[in-house]
Amino acid sequence: MAEAWIPDLNETPGAKYLAIADSIAAAVENGRLRAGDRLPPQRDLAARLGIDLTTVTKGYDQARQRGLIGARGRAGSFILPQDAIAAGPPPLDTGMNMPPEVAGGSLLAAWERTASALLRAPGAGGRLHYTPAGGRATDRAAGAAIFARLGLACSADEVIVTAGAQNALHAIVAATLQPGDVVACGTHIYSVFLQLARKAGLRLAPLAAMDADALEALCRTTKVAALYVVPTNDNPTTRTLDAGERRALAEVARRHGVRIIEDDAYGQLPERAIAPLTSFAPELGTYVASCSKILSPALRVAHVRAPSVREALALAAEVHKSCVMAPPLDAALVTRWLEDGSYDRLVAETRAEAAARQGLAAEILPAGSYAAHASGYHLWVPLPAGADQGRIAEALRGAGVTAIAADAFAAGEGGEAALRVSLGGAVTRAVLARGLTVLEMELGAGKAA
């Protein structure tokens, strides 16, 4: 191991995980790190730098995607020879939970066609100007139309447009919660919200089960400020709440005055949507629907429904503080696609591709070895008791399959050992099939260890 090498995160502005990858790249370029040098274990580096393990994992993943490092099972991560960077195709990227690419390029074609039409229309120059922080009226109306389809009636004045779901969650936390507030959640939750909560000084209260009884029991002993829930195809566990479970949770929230933060990133993917939890307690719910998660991460658009016009304005103010506005052209694309029918067609294509990839997983991985949603693009893979999930995830990444260990999503202590594996990163189904075969072999080896 290059014992003395520790990245200096102050040398590179921006996200810490990118700073880690950039520091590795710089050390390779200046000769400080050479081929074969072993990097510090992720947990050790996180402790040395005083940052979350998730951040270090993402940094190493970024370096791996750049071809800088590889892994050798229990031995850890090593610097690759520079000629290895161009030696073959990039590793299967299943770490980021992104929509799968649909063969035929229909999304790209729709993007090019619609963007061209928007920029050639009379008054197109206005597309390049600042917009209201909450979005143009037409784009907010488009968000209200999406919500109505899902069973959540609202006015456009209660809707804002944000630069993706992460931006929406940041605005919600900043506008509605205070340090020390208790937020009920699942045992494993979306890692971005986990980081937001910690940064904001919130107290997470993991529920043993995401149900009304568990929430009621917590509310009887604790003043709960909010409930954070991903009701459809939960990230990472893939759990989906049925209509009865949603109604029951809403009733408890109403009884105890608990704000609902409903992060329904995947709610538009099922052919038959389940009514949002917010629809059962609209005065308490802030609902997020993301286009980035169902079409493309490059489409930085999410729509947020606030409980009132006043709260919508407060959320818009937080969007302005963080990024000024959602990308105007992206928002206009979504609005036009809703108007001309392209939106439904593109979502249907994503849904079909996701189902096909889930079919591959069912063919290759042992039955009962993972949890999944039929129209989702990630798996939740439990590991045997006592398994070293970090080691297995590292071994999988070394084999070209990026899996994320459950502790990156853990809202409390003592969570289950598991991996989240995303299916959307592979460019083709053939690439995914090869990666899933490696996953099956590595999981078998991990269970036998």
Residue-range domains of the chain with CATH: 1-88 (1.10.10.10), 106-340 (3.40.640.10)
Which range has the worst mean pLDDT, 97-106, 158-167, 279-288?
Answer: 97-106
| The most confident of 55-64, 348-357, 435-444, by mean pLDDT | 348-357
The Cα–Cα gap between 111 and 266 comes to 21
Q: Mean pLDDT over residues 373-395, rounded?
A: 83
The string of pLDDT tens digits covering residues 127-158 is: 788 999 899 999 999 999 999 999 999 999 99
pLDDT at 428: 80
pLDDT at 91: 47
The Cα–Cα gap between 242 and 344 comes to 23
Of 264 and 430, the one with more pLDDT = 264
pLDDT at 373: 96
Q: Is the pLDDT of residue 11 over 90?
A: no
The DSSP string of 320-354 is HHHHSS--HHHHHHHHHHHHHTHHHHHHHHHHHHH
Summary mean pLDDT of the chain: 88
Q: How many CB atoms lie within 10 A of CB 152?
A: 24
pLDDT at 94: 46
pLDDT tier at 85, thresholds 50, 70, 90: very low
pLDDT tier at 448, thresholds 50, 70, 90: low
pLDDT at 223: 98
Q: Is the pLDDT of residue 3 over 60?
A: no
Strands (E) located in 92-224: 159-162, 182-185, 203-206
The Cα–Cα gap between 288 and 171 comes to 11
Q: Are 35 and 82 in contact (CB under 8 A)?
A: yes
The Cα–Cα gap between 112 and 330 comes to 12
Q: Which two tokens stand for residue 402?
A: 């990026």
pLDDT tier at 89, thresholds 50, 70, 90: very low
Q: Which residues of 26-55 are buried (b: 16+ CB within 10 A; e: fewer)?
A: ebbeeeebeeebbbbbbeebbeebebbbbb
pLDDT at 422: 85
Q: Is the pLDDT of residue 118 over 50?
A: yes
Q: Mean pLDDT over residues 408-426, rounded?
A: 85
Of 27 and 277, the one with more pLDDT = 277
The string of pLDDT tens digits covering residues 294-352 is: 999 999 999 999 999 999 999 999 999 999 999 999 999 999 999 999 999 999 999 99
pLDDT tier at 389, thresholds 50, 70, 90: confident
The string of pLDDT tens digits covering residues 14-65 is: 678 878 888 888 888 888 888 878 889 888 888 888 898 888 888 887 787 6
The Cα–Cα gap between 302 and 176 comes to 18
Q: Is 184 helix (H, G, I), strand (E, B) or coil?
A: strand
Q: Is the pLDDT of residue 13 over 70?
A: no
Q: How many CB atoms lie within 10 A of CB 314?
A: 17
pLDDT at 437: 80
- The share of the chain scoring above pLDDT 70, in percent, equals 89
Q: Is the pLDDT of residue 396 over 90?
A: no
Paired residues of 255 in beta bridges = none
pLDDT at 445: 58
Q: Cis link prior to 41 (omega < 30° from 0)?
A: no
Q: Is the pLDDT of residue 431 over 80?
A: no
pLDDT at 190: 95
List the one residue out of 307, 268, 311 whose CA is nearest residue 287: 307
